[in-house]
Chain A
Amino acid sequence: MSISRRKFLGWLTAAGLSSSAFGKVAHAATTRHFEGHPDSLGVLYDNTKCIGCRTCEAACNKVNDLPPPDRPFDDLSVLDNKRRTDPKKYMVINKYDGSVNVETPLFGRTGCNHCLEPACASSCFVRAYTKTESGAVTYDSSVCVGCRYCMLACPFNIPTFEYDAALTPRIRKCTMCYDTRLVKGELPGCVEACPTESFTFGKRIDLLRIARERIRRYPGRYLDHIYGQNEMGGTSWLYLSGVPFKQIGMREDLGITPAPQFTSSALAAVPMVVGTWPLLLMGIYAVSKRKDKIAKEEKEQALAEVTAQVKAEADQKVSEAWKKAAQEKEKAIEAAVKQALEAAADVETEENS
């Protein structure tokens, strides 16, 4: 007997329900606060020092061998439009209107924040992304299958896809100059180029200290918040600003939970489902199969017994009939013999008389 469609779906639902119940436990087991690799590096962007000269963009373009821009880097009218990262630019500086008390325009940087627990890495099923111990989140195009899940996963909308590369499209994003410069002991391109040191490079732990000290010394200049200290569980890039971060195009609704934690409960159940459930389902299948088999055997046996009994009874009946018939035959013979004998005796008597 085969499994019915209804039965199969029923099992599947049961499996789903119980795995999500177990998943809660799995999640609790993985809730540990990861504060980044020790001594990992990062960059602190201080928007009060930025003058919007785009030198960093030019340097980024140069050190990463990116194609030349549509408009030159010293054309500052580019800043009149809000831009985002694309395969040709790993970072952009955008200009924002100053608030009422700040007459000069404000600037904001958009680029990979190198999360401590990156969403892109957790969404990637081929492990193309690595959070290196240096702090940089790197990408390996050789394993990438081009699913672009990372682009959906990133809360900052950073990874971009080479849509115009027909055969070997890659994901492009800031590498913190990890393989091109950091490993050689050089500063990231943007950091080195900035004339005002709006970017401070160093150990993340030192950057936090610097940021806190700046806020303490100049309370009127800075907002008392270090963006990236806790956002999405913390990022290697940190930001200081004199105005609410929303005003310089940064999301304030992200919360402090690292992206992988949102999916860990569901994903933690995957090995269990993949490992255990086929076995269990096969087991259930085998048990039911065995049950069917036994039932079939029992039925056959019963049938055989009944058949045998019936046969035996029939045999008996036949044999009895035979016996009876034989007896009757014998009786008949006897009777016939007797009759014959009597007839013979009669004849003798007649002959004698």
Chain B
Amino acid sequence: MKKRRSLLLLSGIFFAAAIVAFFTSKVQGVEEVGNDSPLMRADVITIDALKGFGDLEQPPVVFLHDLHTDAVEKQNKDCSACHLSEENRQSPKFKRLKNTSRQQVMDIYHVDCMQCHREVQKAGEKAGPVEKCGQCHQGKPKAISDRELIVFDKSLHFRHTEATKDTCETCHHRYDEVTKKLFYAKGKEGSCVYCHKQQTEENRISKRLASHLSCIKCHRETLAKKKTTPQAKDQKAGPIKCSGCHASEQLQLIKKIKDVPRMKRNQPDVVLIQAVQIDANKKGAPATILMNAVPFDHKSHEKYNDTCRVCHHADLNTCSSCHSVAGKKEGNFVRSEQAMHQLNSERSCLGCHGSRQSKPSCAGCHASIPLESKQQTSYCVQCHAKPPQRSTANPKPEQLARMMLKSRTAMTDTYRDKDIPETVTIKDLSDQYEPVYFPHRRIIRRLVTETKNDKLAQYFHSQKGTICQACHHNSPATKKPPRCYSCHGKPFNETEILRPGMKGAYHQQCFGCHQQMGIKKPDSLNCIECHREQKK
């Protein structure tokens, strides 16, 4: 009797311990890592085709496409083993052209998948699941997609124009509303996403579908040609597997052409951006041109950007076709002022120029200069410059823009060495440290070197003293700018609450700039690298 009781007690203790262990492990989020950690793959496709017919009864199936492409290839079959064709176009769906009914779609997967798996199994090779539902319908999928989207940049575009021998119609087309057919219009080519949006709309398939149908089709044909015709043996063919365009390591391998020749689409070299106001009440009245026009170097800006889409976000027409002074419906009522000046936008002039300031060579100074949409007049006239004295009576806008751009000068230097103090002795904190010998001239020379190859900086740093203004801020550019202590003194002055004291100003300026530029020496945490220890 006594023995049985102790056994009961022991089992009770074990049971309690097991419960405690179970719950605590859950609370602490302890999860077994190792075999269970999901696979990161670029070819993950989630099969949930039945979603369109109502709620799913089983978890969706995670399908690894590349794994199956390889398996099919091994059996000397091609894509048609799984994908049916219609009108010379392969359906992206599995073994069907359309989602007909719930039962039919379900049967297609269950019958055709299993059949193939069984055949492979019979052949004695490693095959997919054939028995249990849960082997395909996994609640917790074993693979997670880390698919990246390929950017069809100008280098890739150039390689395609080379390969297709400038037959733009291979890819570019337009849609004729009347004949309901695609046709090619020379000189009207644009980016795919101008028409093919995120979702399939009436008459236009989604960007995803369009790119998979067209790109893979062409790549497959090229591959086939390579095999059959000896002349095309050395021709390159694009990827047809998921990983080719979507795995980050494969994307790194895509060859980049350094100096891509300009695209041939009759784009202008220079543009004169004018604020034109048309009086709607007076028909035929000449348009009023407001303020100074901005000469825009279109050719150079093509070089700075990877795609046309960076600026031409909706189509390849002029900015003014959608954005006017007062705003138009076509441009979603975004006024031209906003389109050109909006901060935090890659499309606008100011937005893109502002984002360039975040690279280390610029951020040292610019991170502490707040970017504000409202600017001083002196800043406005750098773009909205006064037109030069006209040599001809009425120059064409493009001619004027060319003239204005030519008259621009780049500021590549600052004052001469003899005008720049070599060192500045800072005697603050003399109760703790020896004075600091600040290498003033060396720092300025470094800043000049940093901006040496930066056309943007050289144009906007328009005066010799502009670069000095990074530290000697809030004062006009001059050879002899005010000293730090002209404005900074004791901290927390009630009349100037936003102004840091001398110590704060020095350290914020030095540390801030060094941090932004990635300068590790001197270490901001080791005082004596700047402040030498006091001699006793």
Let me know if A197 and B497 touch, CB within 8 A.
Answer: no
**Does A201 sit within 8 A of B, measured CB to CB?**
yes
Question: Which of A145-173 touch B at CB < 8 Å?
Answer: none
Stretch of B23-31, B251-259, B309-317, B501-509 lying at the A interface: B501-509
Question: Which of B491-536 touch A at CB < 8 Å?
Answer: 491-492, 494, 497-498, 500-501, 503-505, 507-508, 511, 515, 524-525, 527
- Residues of A contacting B230 with CB < 8 Å? none
**Does A244 sit within 8 A of B, measured CB to CB?**
no
Cα(A77)–Cα(B527), bound, Å: 16
Q: Mark A20-32, 1 if CB is under 8 A from B, else 0.
A: 0000000000000
Partner of A51, one of B370, B503, B524: B524
**Does A196 sit within 8 A of B, measured CB to CB?**
yes
Stretch of A209-217, A233-241, A261-269, A286-294 lying at the B interface: A209-217
Let me know if B491 and A197 touch, CB within 8 A.
Answer: yes
Let me know if B525 and A51 touch, CB within 8 A.
Answer: yes
Partner of A209, one of B370, B497, B508, B511: B497
Chain A minimum-CB-distance residue to B504: A197
- Residues of B contacting A51 with CB < 8 Å? 511, 524-525
- Residues of B contacting A200 with CB < 8 Å? 491-492
Q: Mark A174-200, 1 if CB is under 8 A from B, else 0.
A: 000000000000010000001111001
Let me know if A196 and B497 touch, CB within 8 A.
Answer: no
Let me know if A53 and B497 touch, CB within 8 A.
Answer: no
Instruction: Decide if the interface of chain B is mainly helix, strand, loop or mixed.
Output: loop
Give the number of chain A interface residues (Cβ < 8 Å): 21
The verdict on A53 contacting B525 (CB below 8 Å), with A104-B515, A195-B507, A197-B508 known, is yes
- Residues of A contacting B494 with CB < 8 Å? 202-203, 206
The verdict on A218 contacting B370 (CB below 8 Å), with A53-B525, A197-B500, A202-B497 known, is yes
The verdict on A210 contacting B498 (CB below 8 Å), with A51-B524, A187-B492, A197-B491 known, is yes
- Residues of B contacting A218 with CB < 8 Å? 370
Chain B minimum-CB-distance residue to A192: B491
- Residues of A contacting B505 with CB < 8 Å? 197
- Residues of A contacting B511 with CB < 8 Å? 51, 196
Chain A minimum-CB-distance residue to B429: A195
- Residues of A contacting B515 with CB < 8 Å? 104
Let me know if B503 and A197 touch, CB within 8 A.
Answer: yes
A54 to chain B minimum Cβ distance, whole angstroms, is: 9
- Residues of A contacting B370 with CB < 8 Å? 217-218
Chain B minimum-CB-distance residue to A207: B497
Partner of B508, one of A52, A187, A196: A196
Let me know if A206 and B497 touch, CB within 8 A.
Answer: yes
Let me know if A202 and B507 touch, CB within 8 A.
Answer: no
Let me know if B507 and A76 touch, CB within 8 A.
Answer: no
Let me know if B508 and A202 touch, CB within 8 A.
Answer: no
**Does A131 sit within 8 A of B, measured CB to CB?**
no
A6 to chain B minimum Cβ distance, whole angstroms, is: 41
Cα(A203)–Cα(B493), bound, Å: 11
Cα(A218)–Cα(B511), bound, Å: 17
Partner of A197, one of B507, B524, B525, B527: B507
Cα(A40)–Cα(B501), bound, Å: 21
Partner of B498, one of A49, A52, A213: A213
26 A-B pairs (CB sep. < 8 Å): A49-B508, A51-B524, A53-B524, A53-B525, A53-B527, A104-B515, A187-B491, A195-B527, A196-B507, A196-B508, A197-B491, A197-B500, A197-B505, A197-B507, A200-B491, A200-B492, A201-B492, A202-B492, A202-B494, A206-B494, A206-B497, A209-B497, A210-B498, A213-B498, A217-B370, A218-B370
Q: State the 7 A-B residue pairs at the shortest beta-carbon distance, nearest first.
A: A197-B504, A217-B370, A195-B507, A196-B507, A206-B497, A197-B500, A201-B492
- In the complex, given contacts A196-B508, A203-B494, A218-B370, what are 19 additional A-B residue pairs having Cβ atoms less than 8 angstroms apart? A49-B508, A51-B525, A53-B524, A53-B525, A53-B527, A76-B525, A195-B503, A195-B507, A196-B507, A197-B491, A197-B500, A197-B504, A197-B505, A200-B492, A202-B494, A206-B497, A209-B497, A213-B498, A217-B370
